[in-house]
Structure 1
Amino acid sequence: MIKITAKRVYVKMVHGLGAIARRIGILGWLERRQDRRSFHWVRALFAIYDVDQMIALDVPWWTYRAIDAVDQFLKERPNAAVFEFGSGASTIWLARRAGTVHSTEHDKDWFDLMQSRIILYPGIHLTYVPTDATLSQDPLYHSQKEAYADHSFENYVKEIAKTGQKYDLIVIDGRARPACLHVAKNCLTKDGMIVFDNTKRQRYDIAIRQSGLAATHLAGMTPSLPYRDKTTLLHVTPTDGHNV
């Protein structure tokens, strides 16, 4: 609870400072120089938990190193099919670079907010999948996040399989992430890639190690965060049986 309160205080303080920085011209000065990574990161600090600012800055909430790697991956696949667990600024960023983006969202308020943001992108298919009406008997689908301790996400996780499609890129940045990885790896094209965000959290280590996928850990600065984080990219290995 203390951690949540501190986070809210920090976000409110940064947004207040951002409003002042906008009035006196600092944000505009930074925006004119955002082609340089350091300036972009400083500007993005004021955009924490502000989806519209993040969309304007044209970045997802992954480490910059991961952003660069995925950007290059999609440049080589301009019509890529993408599936995303958890919507946000990344949904728009992906739609600007891929053929189609299927995104699933568990939060109704956030789902409603995103509707007006995706209207200009016909390639985005956003689906609302609430927490399970009845707690799943399989602990794999239980959330490890304290706020969702009494909820499960089996329907949410299995939404990707319901599409009956293979994806070039799958982004795991929502709820029940180990379960998402367990299901998503079977929905990946043979040369596809999974983006697993916030892997600095130790609770994701076992799921990644047991996935059988080759992992590239990209630690570093992240848009809007004042500290280093880690995003992991996962690929099917030549000896892995998935999608072959």
Structure 2
Amino acid sequence: MKKQGSYSTLFKPRILYGLLSLSIKGYFVEKGWINSYLTKQALDTSGNPIPWLTYSFLDFISGRLKSNFKLFEFGAGNSTLYFSEFVASVKSVEHDEDWFNKIRPLLPNNVNMEYVNLGENYSSTIFNEDESYDIILVDGRQRVDCCKKAVQKLTSQGVIILDDSERAKYKEAFDFFKDNGFRHIPFTGIAIGAIHHKSTSIFYRDNNCLEI
């Protein structure tokens, strides 16, 4: 078992000073983490929506997205709004009907979002259109199965992004990607509004669209 800290350390002047400093300057303020944590929304420093992914991943992909990319995502939300600004089109599927109805009025014209009940072949909805995608984001339910389906709908240069990839239950997806010739990079660390360790992983092959 990993050693954990104790609340008694909070009373040490140096620790207390450091924690208070984090709320007014430094990395957490510069990234907008403080505002996201307080409001329970994924926002940058200017209040714009950003995906609930790790900051290290967002730093990496910034500047690599291209205006001709087609993106598919399992799980809609702030990621939909964020990516739609940089790519040609976004196709999203969402299983939560209340959430679907909440964000639908906010979507730009280059987004096609579909509500899909989990009992209605959720992971297979990626086959509903005769389209291949440059980027597929797996950040909804049934993630292992979604990863397996996603491989069949990638362009020759396409990549797959799996969020929360630190979770042991997604190991099957890692094994599947490896067996199918994919390598991966885990972007670990702090995520938007989260205080625990997280990871967002990219699975890619040679000559991929992100030039890895």
TM-score range (shorter-chain normalised) is 0.7 to 0.9
Deviation by residue 1:151-185 (Cα, 9 ceiling, x = unmatched): xxxx2111111211110110000000000000001
Match of 2:170 in 1: 204
CA distance in structure 2 between the partners assigned to 1:209 and 1:101 by the alignment: 28
**Aligned residues between the structures:** 179
Match of 2:3 in 1: none
- Give the letter aligned to residue 125 of structure 1: N
Match of 2:51 in 1: 60
1:176 aligns with 2:142: yes
Percentage of matched positions with identical amino acids: 26
CA distance in structure 2 between the partners assigned to 1:156 and 1:237 by the alignment: 29
The structural deviation recorded for 1:47 is 3.2
1:123 aligns with 2:110: yes
CA distance in structure 2 between the partners assigned to 1:58 and 1:200 by the alignment: 24
Whichever structure has more helix as a proportion of its residues is 1
Q: Pick the aligned partner of 2:67 from 69, 78, 103.
A: 78
- Give the letter aligned to residue 64 of structure 1: Y
The structural deviation recorded for 1:210 is 1.7
Match of 2:35 in 1: 43
Maintained 8 Å contact 1:105/1:129: yes
Q: Which portions of structure 1, spanning 4 or more consecutive aligned residues, are displaced by more than 4 angstroms?
A: none
1:192 aligns with 2:167: no
Match of 1:228 in 2: 197
CA distance in structure 1 between the partners assigned to 2:191 and 2:95 by the alignment: 24
The structural deviation recorded for 1:236 is 2.6
Secondary structure, counterpart of 1:83 in structure 2: strand
The structural deviation recorded for 1:237 is 4.6
Maintained 8 Å contact 1:170/1:184: yes
Structure 1 alignment gaps of length 5 or more: 1-28, 134-154, 239-244
Structure 2 alignment gaps of length 5 or more: 1-22, 208-212
The structural deviation recorded for 1:38 is 2.6
Deviation by residue 1:8-33 (Cα, 9 ceiling, x = unmatched): xxxxxxxxxxxxxxxxxxxxx97xx8
1:165 aligns with 2:131: yes
Maintained 8 Å contact 2:187/2:199: yes
RMSD of the alignment, in Å? 2.1
Maintained 8 Å contact 1:44/1:57: no
CA distance in structure 1 between the partners assigned to 2:56 and 2:192 by the alignment: 11
CA distance in structure 1 between the partners assigned to 2:110 and 2:81 by the alignment: 10
CA distance in structure 2 between the partners assigned to 1:89 and 1:56 by the alignment: 12
Match of 1:142 in 2: none
